[in-house]
Amino acid sequence: MIIAIDGPSGAGKSTVAKAVARELGFSCLDTGAMYRAVAWRALRDGVALDDEEGLGRIARECEISFVHGSGDPMPRGVAVDGVDVSAAIREAEIDRAVSPVSAVSAVREALVEQQQRIGRSGDYVVEGRDIGTVVFPEAPVKVFLTASAEERAHRRVRQNVDRGVGSIDYDEVLAGIRRRDEIDSSRASSPLRAAEDAARIDSTGRFIEDVIGDICALARRAVGARVDGDGSEGAR
């Protein structure tokens, strides 16, 4: 079963996705990390951010895999062609490069295919921007998680301090979030928008535990409906 969690940067998707996955015994797929991985390879190889053909080739050819810590079923990071880029993809230069990279249709096509393949292999909480609209439109649980840009910037700064990577300058982070919101929502290919049948949840001013509780309740109802409806909990 797929639980789709979409929304803008810093809305709390990763925290919520991990907690919901742990609660339900699902795996987690961070699709943003995959776009970041392609952006990292492009910068490393000197492929220009407006070279759509070159970016599409990278997305088709590079091998993106998830890195697991010992004993933890949740991936803690991502590797590109065997190189652990978990920290590198959170750097400010990737924050800047990833929106133009993710606006390229050929990049999206290649990554969506990989995401569908991974998601079909088990029960997943999948987070991104187009999961409920494009990647898994048939997902029985779809959440569109938002928060004000200011709150998202505060959270991102705290996260960067904790991780020890990325900018910790609030104004810089806020400007970056606004810039990415604009590009992500206005791009021609799969712009950020809520699926019509998504539950819209605004996490501004709320404890993250309460948001997690709401989404787990939605997910449990969907799992229950599947079991009651056709006896196949794993159906998608």
Q: Which residues bind ligand DC (CB under 6 A)?
A: 9, 31-32, 35-36, 98-99, 102, 128-130, 180, 184
Secondary structure of residue 30 in the 3-state scheme: strand
Give the shortest CB-95-to-ligand DC separation in angstroms: 8
Region class of 220: left (phi > 0), else alpha (psi between -120 and 50), else beta: alpha
- Pick between residue 189 and residue 226 the one whose CB is nearest to ligand DC: 189
- Pick between residue 126 and residue 223 the one whose CB is nearest to ligand DC: 126
- Pick between residue 200 and residue 221 the one whose CB is nearest to ligand DC: 200
Give the shortest CB-99-to-ligand DC separation in angstroms: 4
Q: Is 182 exposed, middle or buried (0-12, 13-18, 19+ CB in 10 A)?
A: exposed
DSSP run (H or E) holding 27: strand 27-30
Task: Report how far residue 26's alpha carbon sits from residue 43's, in angstroms, rounded to the nearest whole number.
Answer: 33
Give the shortest CB-111-to-ligand DC separation in angstroms: 8
Give the shortest CB-180-to-ligand DC separation in angstroms: 5
Give, to the nearest 10 degrees, the angle between helix 31-45 and helix 105-119: 140
Q: Are 181 and 149 in contact (CB under 8 A)?
A: yes
- Pick between residue 22 and residue 114 the one whose CB is nearest to ligand DC: 114
Q: How many residues does the chain have?
A: 236
Give the shortest CB-141-to-ligand DC separation in angstroms: 16
- Pick between residue 119 and residue 128 the one whose CB is nearest to ligand DC: 128
Give the shortest CB-98-to-ligand DC separation in angstroms: 4
Nearest Cα to Cα of residue 94 among 30, 56, 148, 44 = 44
- Pick between residue 86 and residue 99 the one whose CB is nearest to ligand DC: 99
Task: Report how far residue 214's alpha carbon sits from residue 208's, in angstroms, rounded to the nearest whole number.
Answer: 10
